Amino acid sequence: MFERRQILTGFGTILGTAAMATILPKAALAASIKPDNASALLVIDVQNCFLPGGSLAVKDGDQVVPVINRIAKSFANVVLTQDWHTSGHVSFATTHSGKKPFETIDLPYGKQVLWPDHCVQGTEGAALSKDLSIAHAGLVIRKGSNKDVDSYSAFTEADGKTTTGLAAYLKARKVERVFLAGLATDFCVAWSALDARKAGFETYVIEDACRGIDTQGSLAKAWADMGEAGVKRIQSSDIAV
């Protein structure tokens, strides 16, 4: 199933990584991952608030949609997530007098970045993009509904203990590998990927199917943290469609 890695490792030991790229035929590099029944695609927060024109728009966020629609066809198991806050949520700058978006505060569970109001339950901004086309998705997880606790992760709230039930759902369905796509790379995608590793899943982030917010070095830090945790960074072209 992961021929690319095996090929790279084989050549790498003999020739070193620099030589590899030049001698490997392109066909051997393309689309070497074939999702099976033990694979799930997690589509993180592709919601209007995070798309151009939204209150917490991620740059080029809309560009992930066609990529996700294409790869989703290869997955029997797809889970969608929605950031789903109360009004007056603790993560909103407007909830804290004198605070502006992108400042941070200390909360009982740790540092919290403050955001513009976004993804309020039942609003148009919280709706999934109308351009997402994944009718076969089996589950929608809504997270961040606790007024006093944020939840970037699709698995566990920011208190580090309250579960959304996603890991148990995936395990009940015999999923061993998760692939992440969506918004934003450095917050909800990264936190979900790190928790997927903690829950014991083989974890892949599909870089070109994600876009980041990148505030105060968050994007570089997210990739570093994910790399350290054993999250694999791949491209959508690595997935056989």
At 204, give phi and psi (nearest 5°): -125, 130
At 201, give phi and psi (nearest 5°): -85, 145
List 8, 72, 83, 203, residue binding Zn ion (CB under 5 A): 83
Closer Cβ to ligand VGL, 176 or 214, answer by number:
214
Say which of 45, 62, 195, 238 is annotated catalytic.
45
Q: Pick one of ligand VGL, Zn ion, none as the site partner of residue 179 (Cβ within 5 to 8 A by kind).
A: none
Could you say which residues in the range 160-189 bind Zn ion, by CB under 5 A? none
Question: CA 223 to CA 205: how far, in whole Å?
Answer: 10
Annotation says 188 is catalytic? yes
User: What is the CB neighbour count within 10 angstroms for residue 137?
Assistant: 16
CB 42, CB 181: distance < 8 Å: yes
Token representation of residue 11: 């050549």
Query: In angstroms, what CA-CA distances link 54 with 113, 126, 151, 206, 226?
Result: 18, 10, 19, 23, 27
Q: Which stretch binds ligand VGL (CB under 6 A): 123-131, 179-187, 195-203, 225-233?
A: 179-187
Type of residue at 201:
F
- Quick note: the x/- pattern for ligand VGL over 84-123, rule CB under 6 A, is -------------------------------x--------
Say which of 143, 195, 210, 238 is annotated catalytic.
143
- Give the largest Cα separation in the chain, rounded: 61
Question: CA 27 to CA 17: how far, in whole Å?
Answer: 18
Token representation of residue 178: 């998760």
Does 83 bind ligand VGL (CB under 6 A)? Our answer is: yes
Closer Cβ to ligand VGL, 33 or 155, answer by number:
155
User: What's the min distance (Å) between Cβ of 114 and ligand VGL?
Assistant: 10
Q: Which residues of 115-135 are buried (b: 16+ CB within 10 A; e: fewer)?
A: bebbbbeebebbebbeebebe
Closer Cβ to ligand VGL, 8 or 154, answer by number:
154
Q: Which stretch binds ligand VGL (CB under 6 A): 24-32, 132-140, 180-188, 228-236?
A: 180-188
Residue ranges that bind ligand VGL, judged by CB under 6 A:
45, 50, 83, 115, 152, 183-184, 187-188
For the annotated catalytic residues, the residue numbers are: 45, 143, 188
